[in-house]
Amino acid sequence: MIIRSRAPLRISFGGGGTDVPPYPEEKGGAVLSTTIDKYAYCTLVGRDDDSINVKSLDYDLVARYQINGELKYDGKLDLVKAAIRTMDVKTGFDLFLHSDSPPGSGLGTSSALVVALVGAFKQWLKLPLTDYDIAELAYRIERDEAGIKGGRQDQYAATFGGFNFIEFLGKTTIVNPLRIRQDTINELQYRLMICYTGGTRVSAGILDDQVTAYVEKKEKVVQALQEAKELAYRMKNSLLRGRINEFGLLLHDAWCCKKQFSGKITDDRIDELYELARQSGAIGGKLLGAGGGGYLLFLCEFDKWHIVAEKLEQAGGKIVGFAFDLSGMQSWEVSED
């Protein structure tokens, strides 16, 4: 039997950074996000021996391990190794992995891949895991076992799917699905745009700056994190009330706030693309993910979307089409025939 799973990538509108420890444990965090029709995929086929064969299209890697062998963390497929260790897999399997967007692009690709892995193992091993179990297990695999720094929002967004307001209260995470009117969702789909800036980044250094500044109680960063959380609540209210233009202005405020976390979040090229979009008809926007590269998100005036797109592509950006995904992580079985 073949097991497949997929987990959607996400767009974080506001509150990103308040899910990164130790802030949520001390102050409580909140993030507004949605998932889109870009995915991390996993195909798993069980074996009758102790061999593990992994092929990753994203990294152009083929690796072979033994279930009882030492799985060393060496920068190659560490998330797969961490998942095997954490989920205590006892028999061999073949695994194929790929995703619709490269890791480090700001769409939560790495976390979505871990969620897809957990989903595939859950299906294969017949584990009685709830969505909260899956998200928390993915968090432990990525952050605790593999030691990759970051927050908690991505694993929950990829698992639950859809428009969610996620609260981080100490060690407790609460996912609040939002009942947004369909006409509001349609209007967002019509007017939102994501633009690939042409580069990916490693977020750890940016997050180190943010965490260090917060721990040292640097006023600018502490205030920026508080403002980011407050903006997430305001953005949620704007969406629930269908106030799209207000939402776009709050996106801009969220971007101005986010840039206070670290001097590495933006650079001259990102700033130039952002200002070009604003001058061409974007009401507001922000860089997705921790910063440093990846995708820019914009909310445009309805009659200026095509102008913004044209200007950004002339400047070297790449407009990427997308639709919202409301289903979250999915896993299923396929007969070998």
Residues recognised as catalytic: 154
Return d(Cα 294, Cα 290) in angstroms, integer.
Answer: 9
Return d(Cα 217, Cα 240) in angstroms, integer.
Answer: 34
Neighbours of 26 (CB within 10 A): 11
Neighbours of 118 (CB within 10 A): 31
Neighbours of 218 (CB within 10 A): 14
Residues 135 and 118 sit within 8 Å (Cβ to Cβ): no
Return d(Cα 25, Cα 74) in angstroms, integer.
Answer: 30
Is the CA virtual torsion 276, 30, 190, 35 positive or negative?
Answer: positive
Residues 10 and 36 sit within 8 Å (Cβ to Cβ): yes
First to last CA, the chain: 9
Beta bridge partners of 36: 9, 324
Rounded to 5°, angle at Cα 138 from 226 and 28: 20
Token couple for 263: 């001097």
Residues 281 and 299 sit within 8 Å (Cβ to Cβ): no
Pairing type for strands 164-169 and 93-99 reads unpaired
Token couple for 150: 């970051």
